[in-house]
Structure 1
């Protein structure tokens, strides 16, 4: 019997698909070697071939989705909405990072100090949400 897909599964899958399509859409404008990792100052410190650069993040997103689904199945939160929110928020975050990496490789200025602050704010918000929801449930 097939398991019905949740709304979070569908949204997460759509985010992964959109992330993959973004790389395909800009393929012809990307350099042969794509920067995929940057120092805190915004200097690239790791490059990969264009095919790897375009496919790597969507593949990591899919792997992360599988790990999250397994973790939440093994140890479900008391409030089921927490698992859905954390999953979708994580896929959106990873997709946004891929978008910023593509933008940098296309020659756009990416404010890495704001990316770092935004990443920290995202982490605080999503962890705060999960803790608050679980605490309120007790």
Structure 2
């Protein structure tokens, strides 16, 4: 039995596709070995071949979408918009991380202290959103 695509599937897929297309657009300008992980001080501490580094995050985005979708089926939230918000926020975070990795490998300065603050703020906002959506009513 084939399942139809939902609006959320389309948004997640579109963000993954956009992330892949950006990687392909800058592909010729990237080094053969790309830094893919950085210490808190901004020093690269893990590398991958260019094809893997460009393709991995879009693939992870698609897999993450299906994991979140499966989790929502197993334990559905009170408000279906909760999972929509969390899914879109997660896809945007992964796309932003890939953008930062591509930027660093293209030779652009990436302010890692701001990246860490941004991820912390993102985490607080997503958790806060979920708590308000699920428990904010009736409190």
Same fold (TM over 0.5): yes
Q: What TM-score range do you get, normalising by the shorter chain?
A: over 0.9
Q: Does 1:119 align with 2:122?
A: no
Partner of 1:92: 92
Q: What is the rounded CA distance, in whole Å, between the counterparts of 2:73 and 2:19 in structure 1?
A: 25
Deviation at 1:121, TM superposition (A): 0.2
Q: What is the rounded CA distance, in whole Å, between the counterparts of 1:6 and 1:80 in structure 2?
A: 13
Alpha-carbon displacement from aligned partner over 1:21-71 (angstroms, at most 9, x marks no partner): 111000100000000000000000000000011011111111111111100
Worse overlay, 6-15 or 107-116: 6-15
Partner of 2:38: 38
Deviation at 1:3, TM superposition (A): 2.9
Deviation at 1:10, TM superposition (A): 0.9
Deviation at 1:4, TM superposition (A): 3.1
Q: What is the rounded CA distance, in whole Å, between the counterparts of 1:43 and 1:13 in structure 2?
A: 31
Alpha-carbon displacement from aligned partner over 1:48-101 (angstroms, at most 9, x marks no partner): 000011011111111111111100111010000001110011001100000000
The TM-score with structure 2 as length reference comes to 0.96
Partner of 1:26: 26
Deviation at 1:2, TM superposition (A): 3.6
Q: Which runs of 5+ in 1 are unaligned?
A: none
Worse overlay, 106-115 or 4-13: 4-13
Worse overlay, 97-106 or 52-61: 52-61
Worse overlay, 58-67 or 27-36: 58-67
The TM-score with structure 1 as length reference comes to 0.96
C-alpha root-mean-square deviation of aligned residues, in Å? 1.0
